[in-house]
Amino acid sequence: MDLKELKEILQILEEKEITDFELEEEGMKLRIRKGPAASANHASAPILAPLVASVLPSLGGPVSAAAQASPAAVGAAATPTAEAEPGVTLVKSPIVGTFYRTPDPSAPPFVDVGDHIRVGQVLCIIEAMKLMNEIEAEVAGEVVKVHRESGQPVQYGDALFSIRADR
Amino acid sequence: MDLKELKEILQILEEKEITDFELEEEGMKLRIRKGPAASANHASAPILAPLVASVLPSLGGPVSAAAQASPAAVGAAATPTAEAEPGVTLVKSPIVGTFYRTPDPSAPPFVDVGDHIRVGQVLCIIEAMKLMNEIEAEVAGEVVKVHRESGQPVQYGDALFSIRADR
Amino acid sequence: MFKKILIANRGEIALRVIWACKELGVKTVAVYSEADAQGLHVRFADQAVCIGPPRNIESYLNIPAIISAAEITGADAIHPGYGFLSESAYLAEICEACNIRFIGPGPQAIRLMGDKSRARKTMQKAGVPVIPGSPGVLEDEAAAAKCAREIGFPVILKASAGGGGRGMRVVRAAPDLEPAFRAAQSEAQAAFGVPDVYLERYVDRPRHIEIQVMADTKGQVVHLGERECSVQRRHQKIIEEAPSSFVTEKMRRRMGQTAVDAAKAVQYVNAGTVEFLVDPAGNFYFMEMNTRIQVEHGVTELVTGRDLVKEQILVSAGEPLSFAQKDIVWTGHALECRINAEDPETFVPSPGVIRHMNLPGGPGVRIDTYAHDGCEVSPYYDSLVAKLMTYGRDRMESVARMRRALDVVVMEGIKTNAPLHRRIMDDPDFLAGRLDTHFMERFQPQKKKAAIAAS
Amino acid sequence: MFKKILIANRGEIALRVIWACKELGVKTVAVYSEADAQGLHVRFADQAVCIGPPRNIESYLNIPAIISAAEITGADAIHPGYGFLSESAYLAEICEACNIRFIGPGPQAIRLMGDKSRARKTMQKAGVPVIPGSPGVLEDEAAAAKCAREIGFPVILKASAGGGGRGMRVVRAAPDLEPAFRAAQSEAQAAFGVPDVYLERYVDRPRHIEIQVMADTKGQVVHLGERECSVQRRHQKIIEEAPSSFVTEKMRRRMGQTAVDAAKAVQYVNAGTVEFLVDPAGNFYFMEMNTRIQVEHGVTELVTGRDLVKEQILVSAGEPLSFAQKDIVWTGHALECRINAEDPETFVPSPGVIRHMNLPGGPGVRIDTYAHDGCEVSPYYDSLVAKLMTYGRDRMESVARMRRALDVVVMEGIKTNAPLHRRIMDDPDFLAGRLDTHFMERFQPQKKKAAIAAS
């Protein structure tokens, strides 16, 4: 089977709304699965998914409403839900505001990747309504990722840091 | 199997509304599944079902629109689709009209349960626009059921007789 | 009043008639083909009868099945909707014979208006302006030249047997007539096997503007103003509006009176639409009369506040019109976008199951549709899925509402022309009301047809 | 004009504001709690910011989060919708301090009208009729008797610390006053620990009729007529209409002028509603002023053709009102049924996922809703799922349309009160316009509360 045939098959499957397809022929095995995993069945998920909102990315520059309304344009859910790996804790923003990694523009960041932090240590500042809110660590561990750049807006629940917690 | 054959199979599956299909032949194995995973949730089925219409029963006496509109009131599809048993043929009404089992009110019925009928034998009359349309048997066999009473209105596709065909 | 009305149609117009019947307290009977067993008109009518297999000719065009369905359900009237049998004089006659009221004009008026040349002659006699043209086929160049001089240039030569633009020639000045005539003749011969050619005044950049009329059995005829339907693609209207930004109050009175005269000339009863071709100078010419309720009747309802379908039923039941001409007041502006299941670029039909749907709401939005989540847009029938109408105090408000309404139309599983409509709502010509029947050819030039003029 | 408006609300009203912004060409920012990430207001706004967890107090009532969201998105105005922070003078003040326009009246007017006794005094001074009553707590039987004589019977005795009907006593004639006073005192003592009782004229079978006003920053105040909101259950409106079948043209002028006076007395700006209690003789008394757009504003929009939410935004941006009093003309009749996610018999809320939905369309139907197929009706917020409005040439036409509209409302997966509304549409009292705030107690007597009067 060449690429052209494969494309045609995929085209047909799409038209016919086929979600599972397996074909075995001499020395060839083709298996195609589409949409949500067969096992799980999130009745609402496929229905709702296209209506998932564009969220933070649009903070950068407004997304045209027309584009939003087009089903094709809203594939990816934009909220960075960023499932933490096992043992890694995600520090999420508890408030809406502007994220700062340094106490003032000339200072070094509160924490950086590779740093070991202790409970209660200030990780960053989020400015909200002219107030500088210090965000403190609730676990001790190593900073493995900084999700945002300093000066960026963050909404409630946005991932800020990943911390590999000490055991 | 070439692409053309595959397309034809898919076409048939679609027409027959088949959601699961497996085929094994010398050196070839084909498996097709359509729609949400069969195991659990038929996303579309329960959604459509409540919008199934009430049909013929309402011919007897008008169903109140309010009752129809209530999701609870429209559970059963009313068209007597009456899946035929194997070997039993369903004679369906080819036209809309009034079903008569006798040529005139005083005469005996054209056919009755237990009768053996031959191809071309008149089974009943359906009156439509003052015309008496004789409905003839297309198979020979034994009448095993009469689905309608004489004088009742019938719509296109309504089951009239079940005939156990001769082998 | 009627006790029970059978609706010999499907889709949104079947529902529209059901709404009218429910408001009047009249029972309804839906008829449906096997393909429409799940249709909302089947669900929301008081009764429903399956009349045949999916193909139109065996179901929605099947007169015996429809009459039988009316008989077995005891319906005392039939509303034909639009399309299908709505302009079948034969159905109207059979209804008469069967003592079932046909909700529409009499068979004579339907038949007359259905015969374009008889209609033209009748209208001429009634003083309704028709496009000036040769009385019939032109014998030779000399006859063509004489006729063109009388009518005035530009003129268009048309193949008598023609259609689709073939054998047509626009002639803008006398010296061009002779060669054009010969060319048209040979083109006609080549295309249709007969060289017959006739001639008409050619209308440059014409608008399609139509007048809604409503007539009762007492001889009262009232017009409800115009609809601008110039945004068409291959003679299919896709956007309609009322009022037309081109029509002045004076012109509305004149066109309205002409439409009333046209209706009176054929003893018209019930709802009808007189379609006019309007040139840029404001001259208008009778094109045809549609002897039924039209797809776009809703925009007239929005600006007049009158319910045309209820009025149809009442008039059919022998009631006098619920309004006189002086009662008709036009307020605000209404737009309709026909949401079709088709590719917005290629116009290829896109039937399928609507897996997820969102339709707009809020102020100034009206939607007439048979669509719902999980419904099938059938390949057997036309592609109109929904009529999206907006209403505002003025044209710009209804346009603004149409824009935001189109922005939130979601019909997953099928393609629709909503994006096309959305782009038209930003087009400078559309916004300025610079419309004519060639608008869509300019708007999507890549889709331009070979045809010269044909409208 | 504003460049970008943040909508500090959710559900249908957030969408309603988005529609208005889109029509005006203003960008929008939605805010949402974690429970509403899938909400249509999030989807259809130009931007969206998650402001907290589901609980109101941490999200939709979280002023710092909302102000922050406005700041990080660069919104220059906040529309509060209704409910939530819409009558928060504090939010209005903070907006002022942060240079963000609060789309509503000034904090002083909000605060004053939020304080019922100050509002009452201010209104009295402005010549707005309030329900006659004792100036404060009654000292003894003699004071009560004197006061009752001045006011005229019937009167109602109310516990100063009371509420919910306890400690209330209706007295219809002088001889009954003394024993009733003592009984009310001891009931008040028993129920609330203080025996303080005051007295008011008792209005038998009162109607709740309110006047919509709109005021600009130039001092112009216009009223848009009344809404009849007497169909209530436990002080929650469930059906509203305009015009009221009880209000004559003369009465509309008087009530309208009174509402305008009330608004002017507090230098009111933006949309507001003056609620009146109206007795069967047509006397009306100020109850309170709602300093926001209301749920039921749509019926006023339908009969006046004015877009109140757009007007709110324009007025907030400093524009003069787009209409003067003489421009307001009322046409036809509009009804609103609040479709709530609740059991129609027990009124128990019924949150859940709407698995399948059908909403009515056709002529004279307006729907404002956040619902769509597969959407969740959240248990965290109020149960209003959709506002179903119908419009007709007269009350009977809008009722007929409401009936047929309710007949086709399908929301599988949740229960709604649509069947209750449907029954009300057939109630002889409702149809005759015999309404008062006890209507629902009579309509569903089994649900009658212990309370005597309380309205």
pLDDT digits (tens, 9 = 90+) for D87-118: 999 999 999 999 999 999 999 999 999 988 89
Minimal C-alpha gap between C321 and chain B (Å)? 28
Q: Which two tokens stand for residue D264?
A: 């002017």
Task: Tell me if D85 is assigned to some domain.
Answer: yes
What distance in Å separates the CA atoms of residue C268 and residue C307, rounded to the nearest whole number?
A: 19
Contact D65 A51 (CB under 8 A): no
DSSP notation for D336-354 = EEEEESB-TTT--B--EE-
Is D143 in the same domain as D159? yes
Q: Which two tokens stand for residue C46?
A: 């008081």
What is the extent of the structural domain holding D156?
Answer: 132-201
Go through chain B and tell me how many residues it has.
Answer: 167
DSSP C342: B
Q: Which two tokens stand for residue A166?
A: 């000490």
* Pick among C17, C18, C23 to test the D interface (most D CBs inside 10 A): C23
| CB within 8 Å of B89: residues ≥ 6 apart | B138, B139, B141, B162, B163, B164, B165
**CB burial string B123-156: b at 16+ within 10 A, e below:** bbbbbbbeeebebebeeebbbbebbbeeebbbbb
Asked if the model's pLDDT at residue A123 lies above 90, the reply is yes
Task: Tell me if C224 is assigned to some domain.
Answer: yes
| CB within 8 Å of D129: residues ≥ 6 apart | D258, D283, D284, D285, D286
What distance in Å separates the CA atoms of residue C104 and residue C16, rounded to the nearest whole number?
A: 16
Task: Tell me if D125 is assigned to some domain.
Answer: no
- Residue of C171, C241, C243, C161 lying closest to C200 (CA atoms): C171
Average pLDDT, chain D: 94
D426 touches chain A (CB under 8 A): no
More confident residue, C135 or D23: D23
- Residue of D231, D173, D241, D245 lying closest to D202 (CA atoms): D173
Pick from C353, C410, C422: CB nearest A66:
C422
Minimal C-alpha gap between D15 and chain C (Å)? 8
- Residue of D288, D322, D324 lying closest to D308 (CA atoms): D322
Q: What pLDDT is stored for residue B40 in this prediction? A: 30
Q: Which two tokens stand for residue C245?
A: 């930004």
Mean pLDDT of C148-175: 84
| CATH number of D22's domain | 3.40.50.20
SS3 C251: helix
Q: What pLDDT is stored for residue C446 in this prediction? A: 58
What distance in Å separates the CA atoms of residue C260 and residue C310, rounded to the nearest whole number?
A: 20
What distance in Å separates the CA atoms of residue D424 and residue D432, rounded to the nearest whole number?
A: 12
- What is the amino acid identity at position A35? G
DSSP notation for D135-201 = SS---SHHHHHHHHHHH-SSEEEEETT-BTTBT-EEE-SGGGHHHHHHHHHHHHHHHHS---EEEEE
Contact B33 A17 (CB under 8 A): no
What distance in Å separates the CA atoms of residue A13 and residue B7, rounded to the nearest whole number?
A: 10
Q: How many CB atoms lie within 10 A of CB C381?
A: 18
Contact A129 D38 (CB under 8 A): no
Q: What pLDDT is stored for residue B55 in this prediction? A: 28
> What's phi and psi for A130, nearest 5 deg?
70, 0
Chain A residues touching chain B at CB-CB below 8 Å: 5, 8-9, 12, 16-26, 35-39, 41, 43, 46-47
DSSP notation for D55-107 = SGGGTTT-HHHHHHHHHHHT--EEE--SSTTTT-HHHHHHHHHTT-EESSS-H
Rg (CA), chain B: 21
Least confident of B48-57, C3-12, C93-102, C251-260: B48-57
Ramachandran category for residue C99: left, alpha or beta (phi over 0 → left; psi -120 to 50 → alpha): left
| CATH number of C151's domain | 3.30.1490.20
| CB within 8 Å of C310: residues ≥ 6 apart | C20, C23, C24
Mean pLDDT of B55-64: 31
The verdict on whether omega for the bond into residue C349 sits within 30 degrees of 0, i.e. cis, is no
What distance in Å separates the CA atoms of residue D208 and residue D437, rounded to the nearest whole number?
A: 7
Q: What pLDDT is stored for residue A60 in this prediction? A: 32
Contact C307 D358 (CB under 8 A): no
Ramachandran category for residue B97: left, alpha or beta (phi over 0 → left; psi -120 to 50 → alpha): left
SS3 D446: helix
> What's phi and psi for D379, nearest 5 deg?
-75, -10
Using a 10 angstrom Cβ sphere, with 0-12 exposed, 13-18 middle and 19 or more buried, the burial of residue A28 is exposed
Is D147 in the same domain as D235? no
Asked if the model's pLDDT at residue C453 lies above 50, the reply is no
Residues of C labelled catalytic? 292
SS3 content of chain A, % helix, strand, coil (to 5): 20, 30, 45
Least confident of C422-426, D134-138, D154-158, D229-233: D134-138
Is C229 in the same domain as C85? no
Q: What pLDDT is stored for residue D191 in this prediction? A: 84
Task: Tell me if D343 is assigned to some domain.
Answer: yes
Contact A19 B40 (CB under 8 A): no
User: E-assigned strands of B115-158?
Assistant: 116-117, 122-128, 131-136, 141-146, 153-154
Task: Tell me if D111 is assigned to some domain.
Answer: no
Task: Tell me if C127 is assigned to some domain.
Answer: no
Is D370 in the same domain as D397? yes
What distance in Å separates the CA atoms of residue B143 and residue B111, rounded to the nearest whole number?
A: 8
Is D183 in the same domain as D91? no
Beta strands A153-154 and A97-100 are antiparallel
Contacting residues of B for D345, CB less than 8 Å apart: none
Q: At B56, is the pLDDT very low, low, confident or very high (cuts 50, 70, 90)? A: very low
Q: What pLDDT is stored for residue D99 in this prediction? A: 96
> What's phi and psi for A75, nearest 5 deg?
-60, -60
Minimal C-alpha gap between C419 and chain B (Å)? 27
ipTM above 0.95 for this complex: no
Q: What pLDDT is stored for residue B33 in this prediction? A: 65
What distance in Å separates the CA atoms of residue B127 and residue B99, rounded to the nearest whole number?
A: 7
Pick from D355, D373, D410: CB nearest B69:
D410
Q: What pLDDT is stored for residue D7 in this prediction? A: 98
Cβ atoms of D374 and D413 within 8 Å: the answer is no
Is D40 in the same domain as D143? no
Q: At A34, is the pLDDT very low, low, confident or very high (cuts 50, 70, 90)? A: low
Contacting residues of B for A47, CB less than 8 Å apart: 43
pLDDT digits (tens, 9 = 90+) for D410-436: 999 999 999 999 999 999 999 999 999
pLDDT digits (tens, 9 = 90+) for C85-134: 999 999 999 999 999 999 999 999 999 999 888 999 999 999 999 999 88
Please identify, among D175, D201, D227, the residue that sits at the C-terminal boundary of a domain. Answer: D201
- Residue of C31, C91, C30 lying closest to B129 (CA atoms): C91
Is D196 in the same domain as D212? no
Q: At D448, is the pLDDT very low, low, confident or very high (cuts 50, 70, 90)? A: very low
Cβ atoms of C401 and C420 within 8 Å: the answer is no
pLDDT digits (tens, 9 = 90+) for C267-311: 999 999 999 999 999 999 999 999 999 999 999 999 999 999 999
Q: How many CB atoms lie within 10 A of CB B17?
A: 8
| CB within 8 Å of C365: residues ≥ 6 apart | C388, C389, C390, C391, C401, C405, D366
Residues of D labelled catalytic? 292
Q: At A40, is the pLDDT very low, low, confident or very high (cuts 50, 70, 90)? A: very low
Contacting residues of A for C353, CB less than 8 Å apart: 17
Q: What pLDDT is stored for residue B9 in this prediction? A: 72
Q: For chain B, which chains pass the contact test of at least 3 CB pairs under 8 Å?
A: A, C, D
Mean pLDDT of A74-96: 65
Cβ atoms of D151 and D201 within 8 Å: the answer is yes
Q: Which two tokens stand for residue C213?
A: 């009329």
Q: At D235, is the pLDDT very low, low, confident or very high (cuts 50, 70, 90)? A: confident
D409 touches chain B (CB under 8 A): yes
Mean pLDDT of D122-130: 96
More confident residue, C147 or B27: C147
Closest residue of chain C to D333, computed from CA coordinates: C305
| CATH number of D218's domain | 3.30.470.20
User: E-assigned strands of C112-177?
Assistant: 155-159, 169-171
Please identify, among C201, C228, C250, the residue that sits at the C-terminal boundary of a domain. Answer: C201
Mean pLDDT of D134-139: 86
Pick from B54, B55, B63: CB nearest C50:
B55
Contacting residues of D for B50, CB less than 8 Å apart: 356, 410, 412
Least confident of C165-169, C320-324, C377-381: C165-169
Residue position matching structure tokens 């959305």: C422
Q: How many CB atoms lie within 10 A of CB A127?
A: 18
What distance in Å separates the CA atoms of residue C137 and residue C157, rounded to the nearest whole number?
A: 10
The DSSP element (H or E) to which D259 belongs, if any, is helix D249-265
- What order of strands is seen across the sheet that includes strand D101-102? D47-52, D27-33, D4-7, D77-79, D101-102
Contacting residues of A for C422, CB less than 8 Å apart: 66
Average pLDDT, chain C: 94
| CB within 8 Å of A151: residues ≥ 6 apart | A98, A99, A100
What distance in Å separates the CA atoms of residue C227 and residue C300, rounded to the nearest whole number?
A: 7
Cβ atoms of D50 and D32 within 8 Å: the answer is yes
Q: At B83, is the pLDDT very low, low, confident or very high (cuts 50, 70, 90)? A: low
Q: What pLDDT is stored for residue C168 in this prediction? A: 83
Is C298 in the same domain as C432? yes
Asked if the model's pLDDT at residue C167 lies above 80, the reply is no
Structural domains for chain B:
3-69 (no CATH), 77-165 (2.40.50.100)
Beta strands C101-102 and C77-79 are parallel
Helices D107-114, D89-97: axis angle to 10 degrees equals 170
Is C82 in the same domain as C13? yes
Is D249 in the same domain as D392? yes
Asked if the model's pLDDT at residue C184 lies above 80, the reply is yes
Cα separation values, D83 from B152, C360, D53, D290, Å: 58, 23, 18, 10
More confident residue, A76 or D235: D235
User: Does the global pTM surpass 0.90?
Assistant: no
| Structural domain total, chain D | 3
What distance in Å separates the CA atoms of residue C388 and residue C360, rounded to the nearest whole number?
A: 9
What distance in Å separates the CA atoms of residue D148 and residue D325, rounded to the nearest whole number?
A: 39
Task: Tell me if D109 is assigned to some domain.
Answer: no
SS3 D125: helix
Mean pLDDT of A15-35: 66
Is D442 in the same domain as D311? yes
Is C92 in the same domain as C168? no
Task: Tell me if C110 is assigned to some domain.
Answer: no
Please identify, among D167, D201, D235, the residue that sits at the C-terminal boundary of a domain. Answer: D201
Closest residue of chain A to D97, computed from CA coordinates: A129
Q: At C62, is the pLDDT very low, low, confident or very high (cuts 50, 70, 90)? A: very high
Mean pLDDT of D287-303: 97
Q: What pLDDT is stored for residue A45 in this prediction? A: 29
Q: What pLDDT is stored for residue D158 in this prediction? A: 87
Q: Which two tokens stand for residue D123?
A: 């209104």
The number of C-beta contacts closer than 8 angstroms across A and C is: 24
